[in-house]
Chain A
Amino acid sequence: MFDDFFIRALIAGIGIALVTGPLGCFVVWRRLSYFGDTLSHSALLGVTLAYSFELNIALSVFLISSAVALILIQLQKKTNLPGDALLGLLAHSSLAVGLVVIGFLTFIRFDIMGLLFGDILAVTTNDLIIIWLGGAIILLVLKLIWKPLFASTVNYELAEAEGLNPDRAKAAFTILMAAIIAISIKMVGLLLITGMLIIPAAMARNISDSPRKMVFFSVIGGLLSVIIGLFSSLEFNTASGPSIIAASLFLFILSLLKIKQSIQLKN
């Protein structure tokens, strides 16, 4: 009925949505959307390194994104620049360096559009293993650090005072961000990964009154976005990343209607 590549893309997308759902909630709660952008922009450098040294793309992206996260933390400690300026500096310079390096790699044909916006044709069986295995590890670690991470998101000092070790949870979460970018870059594209994290979570916020519900709806929203997005990508021959993100925007707009309704009910 469907071609193999489309089934693979669907399985990959579902795996990604299961992970971006809960992770995205924390990105929204902890105001990390620009941090996510910075990590994903630096992923291009990771991809070029992967091609240069024949490494696995996900592994290489993961290493570069983690390195950029570490550099960011050091810069925050050692300079007086505000956080958003540092994020912008790292995001654009790593993107620029990545593009320059691509210019040198004349012996490889690059599909830059595919890198930036995702390409469902590019998902291999190998990628599926990386996405589902990597995704399972990310969710497992997130479950382990959930309590301290959530408590310190609500109030850092409470978490610290009552012995939850929030700093360790925060460091682990940073690694998880690098990991989700690494496993979803082929599918969603590096310019749009943060959208996949934020938009379903934002949609979920509109219709939730507890953290648990927000995570649940965020996962559902991500899954629907992937399914709707991929089918329309196939139907209209559009890039997979933008199609998925556009679908999540559509769901977000629907969720606004629910807010309007509940405000009317209150009045």
Chain B
Amino acid sequence: MSSNNKTLVQLNNAGFRQNGKWLVEGVSLKVEKGKIVTLIGPNGSGKSTTAKIALGIYKNIEGNVEKYTNKIGYVPQKISIDWTLPLRVYDFMLLTENINDDAIDEALNLTGVIHLKNKNLGNLSGGEFQRVLIARAISKKPELLVLDEPVQGVDYTGEIALYELIKKISDTLNCGILLISHDLHTVMTATDHVVCLNGHVCCSGSPLDVARNNEYKTLFGEQASQILSVYEHNHDHVHSDEGHIKKN
């Protein structure tokens, strides 16, 4: 892991209120170069809102956001493409930046959907579309990747492969990643720092710290602690070093 600790985005006590209701409040976190920060929490706990605050999509926020990069790749949680737009995967790859064909092919190859390059976006399955979304976000070689539930609709084996890919991207591009997941178990190996949200930050730390945390267990119930035992059993080759998880 790189020792380059450049901060890419930092939230200071940030919150967002819509129609008088707080969607999330008091969130402080930072994403550094080469690090993966994961947001977890139940539905409606403000994960996507926090990501949108970090991205600057929400403007009238409490607290503040410091953004130190403009090279950003974003995989939103929900995206609906309109049928009135004739849009192929290829056109979609060029949506926010003009990248060359090699970069497009490379990204589509990495996520395993190169064969869909000339297909219409409307004809893809949920899992295929999700892979295209990830490919688009990484193809522009961003400094900061924000992935909101990036593997939804992808089958289980594909899910694991995609998280491995995300880990690999973080290492090769040395970019910072803000990852949102509802399932701590599947993202554990690919995470440096976990922030558990429930309208506010309920706990944060290394994946193991969070999994052991009582508030986390209350939020996610008994299953969460079972996952922890599975995790510790299956992954006893993983070492904790100054709060970071390293893989041999």
Contact = CB atoms under 8 A, between A and B. Distances in A.
Nearest to B74: A161
A147 B96 contact: yes
Interface in B60-114: 70, 72-74, 76, 79, 81-82, 84-88, 90-92, 95-97
B146 interface: yes
B193 to A, nearest CB: 21
B88 to A, nearest CB: 6
Contacts of B91: 210-212
A160 B92 contact: no
B85 A157 contact: no
B146 A210 contact: no
Contact of B86 (A151, A158, A162, A205): A205
Interface stretch (B26-34, B38-46, B50-58, B154-162): B50-58
Contact of B55 (A31, A147, A160, A209): A160
B84 A150 contact: no
Interface in A155-198: 155, 157-164
A258 interface: no
A208 B85 CA distance: 10
Interface of A (DSSP majority class):
helix
Contact of A209 (B70, B81, B88): B88
Q: Is the interface of B mostly helix, strand, loop or mixed?
A: loop
B84 A161 contact: no
Contact of B79 (A158, A205, A214): A158
B85 A29 contact: yes
Contact of A154 (B55, B87, B90): B87
Given A147-B96, A150-B95, A164-B96, A157 B87 contact: no
Given A151-B96, A154-B95, A211-B85, A162 B79 contact: no
Nearest to A150: B95
A143 interface: no
B152 interface: no
Nearest to B80: A155
A92 interface: no
B85 A158 contact: no
Nearest to B67: A163
Contacts of A161: 52, 55-57, 72, 74, 76, 146
Given A161-B74, A162-B73, A162-B74, A154 B92 contact: yes
B225 interface: no
B56 A157 contact: no
Contacts of A162: 72-74, 96-97
B84 A29 contact: yes
A164 B85 CA distance: 20
Given A151-B95, A210-B87, A211-B87, A160 B57 contact: yes
B95 A214 contact: no
Contacts of B81: 154-155
A153 interface: yes
A163 B84 CA distance: 25
A163 B76 CA distance: 15
B76 A157 contact: yes
Interface centre among B79, B90, B91, B96 (most CB of A within 10 A): B96
B74 A158 contact: yes
B120 interface: yes
A163 B86 contact: no
Nearest to A208: B86
A162 B138 CA distance: 12
A164 B92 CA distance: 15
Contacts of A159: 95-96
A151 B85 CA distance: 11
**Which residue, A31, A147, A159, A163, has most C-beta atoms of chain B within 10 A?**
A163
A151 B84 CA distance: 14
A158 B57 CA distance: 9
Given A29-B82, A158-B95, A163 B87 contact: no
A113 B136 CA distance: 52
Interface string B117-154: 00010000000000000000000000000100000000
14 contacts: A29-B82, A155-B76, A160-B56, A161-B52, A161-B76, A162-B72, A162-B96, A162-B97, A164-B96, A205-B84, A209-B88, A209-B120, A210-B86, A214-B86
Nearest first, the 3 A-B pairs at minimum CB distance are A161-B55, A161-B74, A162-B96
Interface of B: 52, 55-57, 70, 72-74, 76, 79, 81-82, 84-88, 90-92, 95-97, 120, 146
Given A162-B73, A162-B97, A205-B86, 10 more contacts: A29-B82, A31-B84, A155-B76, A155-B79, A155-B81, A157-B55, A160-B55, A161-B56, A161-B57, A164-B96
